[in-house]
Structure 1
Amino acid sequence: MRIEKEVYGEEAMERLGGSIALVLKNGGVVYLEGDLGMGKTTLVRGVLRGLGYQGPVKSPTYTLVEPYELSGLEVNHFDLYRVADAEELEYMGIRDYFTEGSLCLIEWADMGRGVLPEADWVISLGLIRQGRHVSLEAQTEKGYAAFHALQKVITS
């Protein structure tokens, strides 16, 4: 099950993130795929704004994770770009971040293969003309439920 979108500009990417936030209020695991500069952190900023966060949002490239506590929802934004071996994640206690009600948004999830839980959604970003091609794909039952809700939000 997949949604394909074309997104043009940073504001449009943030709006898409805000729409995604509407259906992820119960948490989940989202893998964000795409090369450097494709807008993964911008999309995360939109999700956080959609959940009510107004502070700065930066890529956790050096810290590996930026946690946010929002209205009872714990949101963890991971950037695993600099991880050399997935076992490093075990040392930081990564499994503790993945609770039933948390939302975990993970950039460069392939660097944590074998340690990370299965993704409810995979969001892939790629370059097209002057914008980005965004593909959203549900992977689990929890992901499918949120996915159906997102289809209604995006098409209304």
Structure 2
Amino acid sequence: MKNLTQPQLEEQAHFLATAVAAPCVIALWGDMGAGKSTFARAFIQSLLPTTDVPSPTFTLIQTYDTPKGEIWHCDLYRLKGPEDAEELGLLEAFNQHICLIEWPERLGDFLPDFRYNIYIKVSDIDQRSCKIECPL
């Protein structure tokens, strides 16, 4: 894992946004406050620079129409169980859109095997460590 400042973490998100295409699942792993929402916000704003990107903590899912297609930004912290993902239409979205998933562990067996994994940890007050695993 590499230590990054917040602007460097955002830069990594911008880079990934230019590199991926739909359908694509990006699982954002990390503790509360690690920077998952920061990464997702930077990813979306790299494609829609003037768009406000609130955290979908209460709505669970926010969607955005971008030049690369629809992005689903999902915060699954409040998901009651993995089967609720099906009711939200998330399983279909995995096969059609770019899906940024905060708290992917809440999906259990519904989390696709073919995905990007972004591991973010707080390593200091203004530093994050970030590891990106890409599918083969």
Q: Could you state the TM-score of these two structures normalised by the residue count of structure 2?
A: 0.89
> CA separation in 2, counterparts of 1:70 and 1:53?
10
> CA separation in 1, counterparts of 2:47 and 2:23?
11
> CA separation in 2, counterparts of 1:65 and 1:110?
16
> CA separation in 2, counterparts of 1:21 and 1:71?
11
Q: What are the Cα deviations for residues 9-30 of structure 1, in whole angstroms up to 9, with x where unaligned? A: 3x33222211111111344111
Q: Could you state the TM-score of these two structures normalised by the residue count of structure 1?
A: 0.78
Cα RMSD, aligned residues only: 1.7
Structure 1 unaligned runs (5+)? 142-156
Matched, 1:41 2:37: yes
Identity of aligned residues (%): 30
For 2:67, which of 62, 65, 71 is the aligned residue? 71
> CA separation in 2, counterparts of 1:76 and 1:89?
13
Kindly report which structure 2 residues correspond to 1:16-55, keeping only aligned pairs within 5 A, or say none. 16-55=12-51
Q: Once the 2 structures are TM-superposed, how far is the Cα of residue 133 of structure 1 from its aligned partner? A: 0.5
1:80 paired residue number:
76
> CA separation in 1, counterparts of 2:39 and 2:61?
16
> Match of 2:17, as an amino acid?
A
Structure 2 unaligned runs (5+)? none
Task: Say how many residue pairs are matched.
Answer: 135
Q: What secondary structure is seen at the aligned counterpart in 1 of 2:45?
A: helix
> Match of 1:127, as an amino acid?
V
2:93 paired residue number:
97
Structure exhibiting the larger radius of gyration computed from Cα positions = 1
Q: What are the Cα deviations for residues 22-49 of structure 1, in whole angstroms up to 9, with x where unaligned? A: 1113441110000111111111111112
Q: What are the Cα deviations for residues 60-96 of structure 1, in whole angstroms up to 9, with x where unaligned? A: 1111111111014111111110112111122222222
